[in-house]
Amino acid sequence: MATRSGSAAADQIHARPLVSTVALAVAIVFLLVGILGFIPGITTNFSDMQFAGHESEAKLLGVFQVSILHNIVHLLFGIAGLALARTVSGARLYLIGGGAVYAVLWLYGLVIDHGSGANFVPLNTADNWLHLGLAVGMIALGLLLSPRRGTSRA
């Protein structure tokens, strides 16, 4: 019995807050997406990939337009998430701040001409919808999973 309670106490001490666990999972997904963007077959038209710009015809999973720059951004976003997920405040910042970045990217994708030089990331309609989903999801997770301050009133 002592072993169980001692183990449970150790688990409580080392338990990761949910917001940190979710931020870590999101970061890992971004790292995987960044890596997969460099793998022929998973990324169609791989030989047509450009460093940046709308001319890159490479598509992750045959759907999401990517470039070398786009893949690098995913990798960097994942690395930032790994670092920030170590604390509750960092995890919250990563999810809410990252969601805000994706909201801006979604708006950017709506207003630019996808065939113009302004589309340097590059973005297509599928990317725009994904960015909206990421924005809403990340912000919601950051807000809903963050510990509440001052909720334990006597």
Q: Looking at the predicted structure, is the pLDDT value of residue 154 above 70?
A: no
Model-level pTM greater than 0.75?
Answer: yes
C-beta separation of 19 from 88 below 8 A: yes
CA distances from 11 to 2, 34, 97, 145 (A): 14, 33, 30, 20
DSSP 58: -
ω into 17 cis (within 30 of 0): no
3 state DSSP class of 53? coil
Tokens at 30, concatenated: 């971004």
Q: What is the pLDDT of residues 65-102, one digit of tens each?
A: 999 999 999 999 999 999 999 999 999 999 999 999 99
**Structure tokens that stand for 95 in this block:** 């999810």
Q: Could you give the CA distance from residue 65 to residue 16 in angstroms, rounded to a whole number?
A: 35
Amino acid at 102: Y
Distance in angstroms between the alpha carbons of the first and the last residue of the chain: 33
Q: Which of the two residues, 98 and 112, has the higher pLDDT score?
A: 98
User: Which amino acid is present at 30?
Assistant: F
How large a percentage of the chain has pLDDT more than 70? 87
